[in-house]
Structure 1
Amino acid sequence: MAPEDHEGATSLLQSFERRFLAARALPSFPWQSLEEKLREPSGSELLLAILQKHEAVPTEPLDALYEALAEVLMAKESTQCHRSYLLPSGDSVTLSESTAIVSHGTTGLLTWDAALYLAEWAIGNPAAFAGRTVLELGSGAGLTGLAICKACHPRAFVFSDCHGRVLEQLRGNVLLNGFSLELHTPTHPGSPKVTVAELDWDKVTASQLSSFQADVVIAADVLYCGEVTLSLVRVLKMLTDCQRRTTPDVYVAYTIRSHDTGKLFVTELDRAGISWEEVPPHASKLFPYEEHSAVVILKLVLNVHHGVRRRLEK
């Protein structure tokens, strides 16, 4: 197989692998690209590589495995699943997530596209987090934070949310990925101190926010309605006023689902005197998500009231 063909085949195999481990729907797999590759002269080598990857042990499966598979297929469909997201290091983030968009009255039990996009950007910009204390607002299933903990070497990471079921799942996902939630007991030297905090944006106090002493604040896919957007800006304004040291860097990622998605947010930021600028889009595609999603990351500067404000492109 020619080097360029080998590179293309490897990329295609990785695309299938990432989607499979993340439990994506079969129609989202690059079937057309695979069909085109198989029709090329080197297609037989690609097919062999696929078979070798998924049949690494050249022995017949035990009958017990077939029986176990039958039991799984006949079992009642679970409302939870496990998804794994591969990191460039070869490590992965594995999450327990809901199989439903809305479950237990919340959308926070599964990973959304902006969380994946922000995690990709963070992995490509580890210096923004290395050796620093990071507070995540609305952590949801925990993908972004866990990716940062594994790839960006923060000193400490605070996951936060307000929904009881989300917090329960979030704590489980933190433990599932090998981090301890015991105070002052990092998993191993160099591992960040990880905590999970209940944080209601409508009830949080300045003293509670100040206690985190965050150097960086992040949030992903939390601008899904006007009421929540106003609450988020309230928290950001409170962070401006309560920090004893320098104010933190803030990164907010959201999917543009309509022209109004970010319009209210930036309007309220301007009103609160919080400067912002759009982070240049990145081309890194580490995780499988909706190809046509339009995701924006805004970097906010809390202690500058008269800075440059770059309007979002329509």
Structure 2
Amino acid sequence: MRNYIEMIENCENNGEGVYDDLIEDYSEMLIGSGNRKEMVNMDCSEGGYFYGYDMKESSFRIYDFLCENPIVVRVFPQFLNVGLALWVDGLVEIEYIIANLESFERKNIVELGSGIGLVGLFLMNILKETGRITMTDYLDCVLENCSYCCELNNIPHKVYNSEYIYLKEDKSSKNENSNLHVMKLDWMNFTEQDIELLKDTDILIAADVAYDSSVIPGLCDVTQQLFNRNRNLIILFAITKRNEKTFEYFVSEMEKRDMVVSKEISTTDLPQLFMIEDRTTVRLFEMKGRNNIPHDQ
């Protein structure tokens, strides 16, 4: 276990990003041979383990200045699982949404790589019933934690594609018509049914998703499928500048699929609601279909 932690920390310190295969191997090692369903169905509020993760490692963050209701999320140290941690890209994205709230009202919004779900929970709180929010990720432990955070905030939500999601049966009927969805979506192994569930997407958002060049083709493929169903799709990505070549590769793969950067947003001009040490490391940009870009841009 110590070797895995050292490998993950070295990847981060060298600016290489943390790779999915490494995280999955480490997660499986923690889970071991235990009964997975028993671990998922346990009451995590009493301590113990969550998918093999020691609950003593977790903590809670409360954001009481973003909207009318405080938002509470549960996080774990990032070396355990990147999808259970908090990243600055999502905070920057929230600042942008607050500054451009009208653009998000009455829209069907899908988030890729939702992680702990802070951005989606914020959107649901501030947009109320004027739009639909779908938070997606692919590891069951991440989706489970995201669902748990929804319940922490007393927000009904409907779950798709994950048999291990913790969802109390007595709440299922109430959640059927909820405008907040939690969905399993694997960029490298998605299906036509997955895309069909998301076909009405107006805005696609994502934060810190292009951290590993090996997942970029899958990320771009998912985005392209949604774009093909709505040529007016607006794509808002926030990406930390770890490796310029990785970012350039992402942009080039998107351009191959007829989606281009329509504008890059200065993160220093946003309402600075969060204490971020160096917000210039985050690139925030909007992408649209090539034919939707005015010729003078």
For the criterion TM > 0.5, the same-fold answer is yes
Structure 2 match to 1:225: 212
| Shift of residue 296, structure 1, vs aligned partner | 1.4
Structure 2 match to 1:101: 78
* 2: CA distance, partners of 1:255 / 1:200: 21
Q: Does 1:162 align with 2:148?
A: no
Q: Aligned Cα RMSD in Å?
A: 2.7
* 2: CA distance, partners of 1:125 / 1:262: 25
How many residue pairs align between the two structures? 227
Structure 1, unaligned stretches of length 5 or more?
1-75
Structure 2 match to 1:175: 151
* 1: CA distance, partners of 2:64 / 2:70: 4
| Shift of residue 290, structure 1, vs aligned partner | 2.8
Does the aligned pair in 1 maintain the 2:110–2:136 contact within 8 Å?
yes
SS at 1:262's partner residue? helix
Q: For 1:98-117, what per-residue CA distance to the aligned partner results, in whole angstroms no more than 9, with x for missing partners? A: 0x2121xx311011010100
- CA gap of 1:258–1:246, structure 2 versus 1, over 3 A, is closer
Structure 1 match to 2:117: 142
* Larger-gyration structure (1/2): 1
| Shift of residue 137, structure 1, vs aligned partner | 0.7
Does the aligned pair in 2 maintain the 1:101–1:110 contact within 8 Å?
yes
Which amino acid in 1 is paired with 2:155? F
Does the aligned pair in 1 maintain the 2:265–2:285 contact within 8 Å?
no
* 1: CA distance, partners of 2:274 / 2:137: 23
* 1: CA distance, partners of 2:178 / 2:289: 25
Which amino acid in 2 is paired with 1:222? V
SS at 2:84's partner residue? coil
Q: For 1:27-61, what per-residue CA distance to the aligned partner results, in whole angstroms no more than 9, with x for missing partners? A: xxxxxxxxxxxxxxxxxxxxxxxxxxxxxxxxxxx
Does the aligned pair in 2 maintain the 1:138–1:222 contact within 8 Å?
yes
Q: Aligned ranges for residues 177-192 of structure 1 at < 5 Å?
A: 177-182=153-158, 185=174
Structure 2 match to 1:211: 197
Structure 2 match to 1:270: 255
Does the aligned pair in 1 maintain the 2:202–2:233 contact within 8 Å?
yes
Which amino acid in 2 is paired with 1:236? T
Structure 2, unaligned stretches of length 5 or more?
1-53, 159-171
SS at 2:79's partner residue? coil
Structure 2 match to 1:285: 272
Does the aligned pair in 2 maintain the 1:274–1:305 contact within 8 Å?
no
* 2: CA distance, partners of 1:307 / 1:275: 12
Q: Aligned ranges for residues 54-133 of structure 1 at < 5 Å?
A: 78-98=56-76, 100-103=77-80, 106-133=81-108
TM-score with structure 1 length normalisation? 0.65
| Shift of residue 223, structure 1, vs aligned partner | 0.9
| Shift of residue 284, structure 1, vs aligned partner | 1.1
Q: For 1:185-236, what per-residue CA distance to the aligned partner results, in whole angstroms no more than 9, with x for missing partners? A: 479xxx9611100000111123421322211111101111101122111111
Does the aligned pair in 1 maintain the 2:156–2:175 contact within 8 Å?
yes
| Shift of residue 88, structure 1, vs aligned partner | 4.2
* 2: CA distance, partners of 1:235 / 1:107: 20
Which amino acid in 1 is paired with 2:265? P
Q: Does 1:295 align with 2:270?
A: no
Which amino acid in 2 is paired with 1:78? K
- CA gap of 1:136–1:195, structure 2 versus 1, over 3 A, is same
* 2: CA distance, partners of 1:122 / 1:109: 22
SS at 1:145's partner residue? helix
